[in-house]
A and B are shown apart, each in its own frame.
Chain A
């Protein structure tokens, strides 16, 4: 848990909130390394706006940028997203397993109540 501190998680979630940034991540996930110019092309926004989104993703640790000559290559850094998912999954596992046990217990209680009712009516 040591490196899994709260502010990192908040940065990850804040970065993922924006649909443009999610689209950028999805594209990087599929294509590996993409230049900034290529990334900006599908969006109806100007390059500086895309750069701002990339800054947010970079601060959150979700991408890396490397300069080669005049182009900047962007790559996905999936680790923070994995951590965010792991965090959510821990809650899901806790409640999912608990609710399965709750259901089994309640159904056993229902069966018991049903049997008692039957015995009453046949008595």
Chain B
């Protein structure tokens, strides 16, 4: 259960967000953590089709990931496998994880729920019990504040 979930409310209809997620032109506008360019974006948006995206960060490092579309339900749901093929997390070059995106329509746009799961498969296999990440966060807060005790 090593996974990461993020939620965003976006003032745009689901179909526009879905296109931004899946078209090369859309991907080129947002993929990557900083303003570095997307160098390559290829998508074949159908179950069994593949994507490949390469981007350069402002520090000059290049990263590429690839994967296969597993579920394509435009404009509400997208599931794909994920693998770093260049840069990224070198430890996980051979590890396949999973990305799920759900788009729920709202009056003023949509709510996007993004989950990157099956990170570190070995660890995931070991973790049948829940809650380590919450505990980890709690401990991390202790370290971060450096108070070493209850407030």
Contact = CB atoms under 8 A, between A and B. Distances in A.
Given A17-B126, A85-B140, A109-B12, A90 B131 contact: no
A65 to B, nearest CB: 19
A44 interface: no
A98 interface: yes
A69 interface: no
A11 to B, nearest CB: 9
Nearest to A4: B91
A94 B10 CA distance: 18
Interface stretch (A35-43, A46-54, A100-108): A100-108
Contacts of B32: 94, 97-98, 101
Q: Classify the interface of chain A: helix, strand, loop or mixed.
A: helix
Given A9-B123, A13-B132, A99 B26 contact: no
Given A85-B140, A105-B30, A30 B129 contact: no
A6 B143 CA distance: 23
**How many B residues touch the partner, as a band?**
35 or more
Interface of A: 1, 4-6, 9-10, 13-14, 16-19, 22, 25-26, 29-30, 32, 78, 81-82, 84-85, 87-88, 90-107, 109-110, 113
Interface of B: 2, 4, 6, 8, 10-13, 16-17, 19-21, 26, 29-34, 89-92, 109, 112, 114, 116, 119-120, 122-123, 126-129, 131-133, 135-136, 138-140, 142-143, 148-150
Given A94-B32, A98-B32, A103-B112, 19 more contacts: A6-B122, A9-B123, A13-B127, A13-B132, A16-B135, A17-B126, A17-B128, A26-B139, A30-B150, A78-B143, A85-B136, A88-B4, A91-B89, A93-B33, A95-B4, A103-B8, A104-B30, A106-B16, A110-B12
